[in-house]
Amino acid sequence: MLEIERLTRRFGEKTAVDGVSLSIPAGQMVGVIGRSGAGKSTLLRMLNRLTEPSAGRVLFDGTDITALRGQALRDWRMRCAMIFQQFNLVQRLDVLTNVLVGRLNRRPVLTSLLRMFTAQERAMALAALDRFDLAETALQRADTLSGGQQQRVAIARALLQEPRIILADEPIASLDPRNARTVMDALRGVNRDGITVLVNLHDLATARDYCDRIVALNAGRVVFDGPPPALTAQRIREIYGVTEEEFAEEAAAAVGAPPPRHPAIAAA
């Protein structure tokens, strides 16, 4: 159970996230939507403390995440894996080593810096890659893979952390529709194994297709929180003052993504 209590982040004059409170039960797949600058990324980054909150608390199974320091903080980050829009793989390392990065926090510093991983960990990494049909690429350099493949490698890395939560910040914004689907399928798959997934999305149709629950942000505040069917075109217009198509185009343009799928096609 992840509990977010009146979480706030200010950047100078601007309030990026403004008193957000959410309660997310274990195993849920939550889509966070909102226009560019609504505070989606800031919210996610505060959950693993890549960004420090200005006020408010985050509790996970009763532990106050916002108070963690040092090793305890690194342990929390291991438990709360992150997927980035630009994958954030180390391009010049092979795929296998990139995935094994997910084990670093569990290894003694010296052996891990020498790239000494156990056979068991290597087998785990290969199994995680195999799950996304990428085992054969294990010894290639990461930059030889396509964007969609790289994002799935990033998910494999996240799985090696054996996380309780996966935070995905616009994971498909840099991908074409077919690759976007394989990545979202992969995220939904690991969610079915019991990992809570919080995913920032610019595409409403994708959020509706894949998520159990949608949270909409506007100017840092939660303006909708409910199951996908409740987020009707009517609600979108009430919340954002634009039609769903306009919302999708604007959001896609803001993240530099390919044009959005037509909702009618997405629903099929």
Partner 1 sequence: MSDRRTAGAMSADVETWRARMPAAFGATRGRRALRVAGWAVFAAWLVASLWWFDMTPQRIWAGLSGLGTILVLMVPPSPGEQWVEILQGMAESVAMAFLGTFLAAIVAVPLGFLGARNIVTATLWRFSLRRLLDGFRGVDQLIWALAYVRAVGLGPLAGVLAIFTADIAVLAKLYAEAIENAEKKQAEGVVAAGGGRLASVRFGILPQVAPVMLAQALYFFESNTRSATILGVVGAGGIGLQIAERIRVRHWDEVAFIILLMIATVAVIDFISGRIRRRLIGAQAAPH
Interface residues with partner 1 (CB under 8 A) are: 60-61, 63, 75-76, 79, 96, 119-120, 122-128, 131, 135, 138-139, 159, 162-164, 190, 193-195
Q: How far is the CB of 17 from partner 1 (least distance, A)?
A: 24
Q: How far is the CB of 182 from partner 1 (least distance, A)?
A: 17
Q: Considering beta carbons, is residue 16 or 168 the nearer one to partner 1?
A: 168
* Site of tokens 């030889």: 144
Q: How far apart are CA 190 and CA 176, in angstroms?
A: 21
Q: Considering beta carbons, is residue 83 or 96 the nearer one to partner 1?
A: 96
Q: How far is the CB of 217 from partner 1 (least distance, A)?
A: 27
Q: Considering beta carbons, is residue 109 or 139 the nearer one to partner 1?
A: 139
> Of how many residues is the chain composed?
268
* Site of tokens 């394989």: 182
Give the helix/strand (H/E) hosting 30: strand 29-34
Q: How far is the CB of 188 from partner 1 (least distance, A)?
A: 14
Q: How far apart are CA 225 and CA 113, in angstroms?
A: 44
Q: Considering beta carbons, is residue 120 or 234 the nearer one to partner 1?
A: 120
| Token pair for 205 | 């149709």
Q: Considering beta carbons, is residue 54 or 182 the nearer one to partner 1?
A: 182
Q: How far is the CB of 218 from partner 1 (least distance, A)?
A: 33
Q: How far is the CB of 247 from partner 1 (least distance, A)?
A: 33
* Site of tokens 């942000």: 217
Q: How far apart are CA 215 and CA 182, in angstroms?
A: 23
Q: Considering beta carbons, is residue 122 or 237 the nearer one to partner 1?
A: 122
Q: Please report, for the chain, how many H helices and E strands are present, in that order.
A: 11, 10
Q: How far apart are CA 99 and CA 140, in angstroms?
A: 12
* Site of tokens 């077919």: 178
Contacts of 98 (CB under 8 A, 6+ apart): 89, 90, 142, 153, 157
Q: How far apart are CA 152 and CA 95, in angstroms?
A: 11
Q: How far is the CB of 118 from partner 1 (least distance, A)?
A: 9
Report which DSSP code applies to 163: -
Q: Considering beta carbons, is residue 63 or 91 the nearer one to partner 1?
A: 63
